[in-house]
Structure 1
């Protein structure tokens, strides 16, 4: 499970970095062509600026949706866990004790 989270975090960080580089490159291109007076270059620059703004807005919206969905899922899972512990206190104590013994044994071996 930890490896999966690490891989996901690594991929997410790499995607963020790639998008940041792409955004910077498009901004540099737009700034570099700002002095070109031709109508076609002006139109291309405006389209690039619009697309960059639209892409940023979509990515921000998607990030917010993912954050909200994750928060709701975790909240639901925490509520389920809390209900289980309240409904089955002795089973929960047994599971906690068993986990404590296993962790203690693993730490004692070092």
Structure 2
């Protein structure tokens, strides 16, 4: 759990850095357009496009990795639940019945 927290923290930090770089490049591009120097604008535009592409690729890779980790985590939790139900069938039936009674009481109050 701690390693997942540190990976999330690292991902958040990397995202902040990527967005800062992108923002900085866009600000440079906006400032350069005030000069109306065509060669300067082209150079900054190329840099902005490159950083935007790099940032997009990083975000896509990070999103895919996080999705995979979440899918694996849910699968592990479902497997653990399945094992518990198979190991403790009567307890599982009792829990299901108790939840059914509570939900029935809540619905009946309306």
What TM-score do you get using the length of structure 2 for normalisation?
0.66
Consecutive unaligned residues of structure 2, counting only runs of 5 or more, are 1-18
Q: What residue in structure 1 maps to residue 108 of structure 2? A: 108
* Correspondence for 1:81: 81
Partner of 1:39: 39
How much has 1:66 moved relative to structure 2?
1.0
Equivalent residue, structure 2, for 1:52: 52
DSSP 3-state at the match of 1:101: helix
Query: CA shift at 1:38, angstroms?
Result: 2.7
Structure 1 segments, 4+ long, off by >6 Å, are: none
Pairs aligned (count): 81
Q: What is the alpha-carbon distance in structure 2 between the residues aligned to residue 94 and residue 38 of structure 1?
A: 75
Equivalents in 2 of 1:56, 1:67: separation in Å?
A: 16
**Larger RCO: Structure 1 or Structure 2 (Cα < 8 Å, ≥ 6 residues apart)?**
2
**DSSP 3-state at the match of 1:82:** helix
Structure 1 segments unaligned to the other structure (5+ residues): 1-18
